[in-house]
Amino acid sequence: MRLSRYFLPVLKENPSEAQIVSHRLMLRAGMIKQASAGIYSWLPLGFKVLRKIENIVHEEQQRAGHIPMLMPTLQSADLWRESGRYDDYGEEMLRIKDRHGRDMLYGPTNEELITDIFRSHVGSYKDLPLTLYHIQWKFRDEIRPRFGVMRGREFFMKDGYNFDLTKEDALHAYNRHLVSYLRTYERMGLQAIPMRADGGPIGGDYTHEFLVLAETGESEVFYDSAVTDLTFGDREIDYDSVDQCAAVLEEFTSKYARTDETHDEALFAEVPKDRQRTARGIEVGQIFYFGTKYSEAMGAKVQGPDGKTVPVHMGSHGIGVSRLLGAIIEASHDDKGIIWPEGVTPFHAGIVNLKQGDEEADAACDALYASLKALGLDPLYDDRNERAGGKFATMDLLGLPWRITVGPRGLKNGVVELTSRRTGESEEMPPEAAVQKIAQIYAGIA
């Protein structure tokens, strides 16, 4: 993309409504615009990152064997009356009447709708196990929407639902989700720590939240610092293997890590003193096992191998896709702007032309742009007639991991400059070498 042709409404001043750095930087970098409280338009740059995050979530869900689908945002109240949640959910639920006076709602989550689909089409244990998921907009009429996309009213969420014959099978589905979530967050350059939590309005007493440690996080967390040494890395896992998935769960959840809702002072005191940590975290996902809560209430049953009809065991598993943009920026920025991890960056590299209009510099930039594109990469070329300082400031704000700077002085010696946004280190090299290096870096990103 050439910046002169893009739509990138960068703000020069700090927006006064933003209290935390990710919200401020998303507004300044022209990624989002508030439409009304807790509801945002996703401008082209923000939309690009949202799509990247969504794609990673899709890939990792399908790697784990989960099946994508799409359910609507608007739901009939009748299903929620069946589960009993229509009255329980309270003011967070946006209730709507259609022209016939029927009660509708904008879905805050989808347990009822998916259970209805399941009971309509599945009647035998032979169709199990089954995990369906979708990525769809949700609405929760939060009393205090704040921090931009971090606590929105309308937000984008992946929600998945497993259906299993037995509790053991459903716990394997739970473990499988935990493993796939660890991979998912690491691909986004995030460490998200699974912590024992509370079921809230979803229900179930077996649940973990995934938390990204950050001062601006809304949750208070207590943990053994040894959990921060764990990484999933590039290990291969067989998602059908009960033992392998259980071993990962054991490895990542046996050390003390809890949110304030389930914090237990006596257990925490058993953690060696020098490893006890109290901090704040951003909840980027949550997994639940809730047994037969919805299947019993809504009659989602299957015939087992012994011919008896039994309610299925279920769980639901959510990832805060739009919240993740905020979480990634909270975890990765400096005083100049965002620093995107390679896995989610909106453009792979920026090209800065120091002397727009100079025949040689323009030609070199055009050639670089074409070479990167030919390799399947997506560069952002700052071809505006701006001073170098302004161009650098924009690139730093946008946070692309790599910048190629092209100027007449370097070109005389046959070189351009390749700069890492994260370290600030620059290296001079011929343009082709810069292209090759960038291609190599992204070839290593899953």
Q: Which residues bind ligand 5CA (CB under 6 A)?
A: 109, 140, 142, 151-152, 155, 157, 159, 202, 283-286, 288, 316-318, 320, 322-323
Is the backbone peptide bond immediately before 129 cis, with ω within 30 degrees of 0? yes
Q: Smallest distance from the beta carbon of 176 to ligand 5CA, in angstroms?
A: 15
Q: Smallest distance from the beta carbon of 92 to ligand 5CA, in angstroms?
A: 9
DSSP conformation letters of 265-317? HHHHTTS-GGGEEEEEEEEEEEEEEEETHHHHHHT-EEE-TTS-EEEPEEEEE
Check: CB of residue 129 under 8 Å from CB of residue 167.
Answer: no
Please say which residue, 157 or 271, places its beta carbon nearer to ligand 5CA: 157
Tell me the residue number closest to ligand 5CA, measured at CB.
320
Please say which residue, 6 or 206, places its beta carbon nearer to ligand 5CA: 206
Q: Smallest distance from the beta carbon of 326 to ligand 5CA, in angstroms?
A: 8
Q: Smallest distance from the beta carbon of 360 to ligand 5CA, in angstroms?
A: 48
Please say which residue, 85 or 403, places its beta carbon nearer to ligand 5CA: 85
Q: Smallest distance from the beta carbon of 125 to ligand 5CA, in angstroms?
A: 24
Chain centre to alpha carbon of residue 314? 23
Neighbouring C-beta atoms of residue 195, cutoff 10 Å: 26
Could you give phi then psi for residue 268, rounded to 5 degrees?
-60, -35
CA distance 442 to 424: 19
Please say which residue, 161 or 402, places its beta carbon nearer to ligand 5CA: 161
> What 3-state DSSP class applies to 190?
coil
Please say which residue, 9 or 203, places its beta carbon nearer to ligand 5CA: 203
The Cα-based distances of 268 to 193, 205, 215, 272, 273 in angstroms read 17, 20, 21, 9, 9
The Cα-based distances of 341 to 109, 190, 400 in angstroms read 29, 9, 8
Please say which residue, 59 or 142, places its beta carbon nearer to ligand 5CA: 142
Please say which residue, 201 or 424, places its beta carbon nearer to ligand 5CA: 201
Q: Smallest distance from the beta carbon of 200 to ligand 5CA, in angstroms?
A: 7
Please say which residue, 318 or 350, places its beta carbon nearer to ligand 5CA: 318
CA distance 102 to 267: 50
147-172 burial, b if ≥16 CB within 10 A, otherwise e? bbbbbbbbbbbbbbbbbbbeeebbbb
CA distance 143 to 283: 18
Check: CB of residue 342 under 8 Å from CB of residue 313.
Answer: no
Query: What's the token pair of residue 351?
Result: 């090209």
**Beta pairing class for 337-338 and 349-353:** unpaired
Q: Smallest distance from the beta carbon of 284 to ligand 5CA, in angstroms?
A: 5
Q: Smallest distance from the beta carbon of 33 to ligand 5CA, in angstroms?
A: 17
- Locate tokens 């020098």: which residue? 274
Please say which residue, 152 or 341, places its beta carbon nearer to ligand 5CA: 152
Q: Smallest distance from the beta carbon of 362 to ligand 5CA, in angstroms?
A: 43
